[in-house]
A and B are shown apart, each in its own frame.
Chain A
Amino acid sequence: MRKALVLLLSLMMAVSIFAAGAGEGGSNDQIVIEFWTHEDVNRQALEDRYIQEFMESHPNVTVNVTRQASTKLIELVQTAFAAGEGPTMFNLSSRDVDAYSVGGRVAPMDYGAAGYTDAQSVKDAYLDGMIDPVTYDGEVYGLPLELTNWCIFINKKVFRDAGLDPETDYPRTWEDMVELSEKLVIRDGDILVRRGYDFRYPYYLETLVPMVEQLGGQLVSDDGTEAIVGEEAWVKVLQFMQDWGPNGLNLGSPTYTNARSLFNRDNNDIAMATTGLYQEARIKADNPEFYDSGEWMVVPFPVFEDAVNDVAACYYGHYYMVNADADEATQKAAWELIAYMLSHGEEYLTEVQLIQPTKELMESEAYRNMPYSEVFLGDFERGHVVYYGAASAEFQAQLRNAVEAVMLQGVTPQQAYSDLKANCQEILDENS
Chain B
Amino acid sequence: MTKQEARLGVDIGGTFTDVVLEVDGESFSTKVLTTYAAPENAIIDGMHQVCTKAGLTPPAITQIIHGTTLATNALIERRGAKTALITTEGFRDVIEMRTESRFEQYDLNLQLPEPLLPRQMRYTVPGRIDATGGELVPLTAADIEPVVEAIAVAGYTSVAIGLLHSYLNPAHECLVRDVLAKRLPDVMISLSHEVSPQMREYERFNTVVANAYIKPLMKSYLGRLEGRLREEGVGCSIFLMHSGGGIISIESAADFPVRLVESGPAGGAVFAAHIAARYGLDKVLSFDMGGTTAKICLIQNQTPKTSRVFEVARSYRFKKGSGMPISIPVIDMVEIGAGGGSLAHVDAMRQIRVGPESAGSEPGPACYGRGGARPAVTDADLVLGKLDGDNFAGGSIKLDVKAANDAMLATLGTPLGLDATTAAFGLAEVVDENMANAARVHAVENGEDLSEYTMIAFGGAAPLHAARLCEKLGINRLLVPPGAGVGSAIGFLRAPFSFEATRSVYMTLAGFDGPAVTTLLAELKSEATAFVRTCAPDAEIIAEYKVYMRYKGQGWEIPVTLTAQQAQNPDPAAFEALFEADYTRLFGRAVAGMDIEITVWSVNATTPPQPVARVQQDSGSSIAEINSTCSVFDAALGSTVEAKNYHRNKIVSGATISGPATITEDETTIIVPASRVAVRQPDGCIDITTRETDE
Interaction A to B: no
Which residues of B come within 8 Å of A, CB atoms?
none
Taking Cβ atoms with an 8 Å cutoff, the residues of A that contact B are none
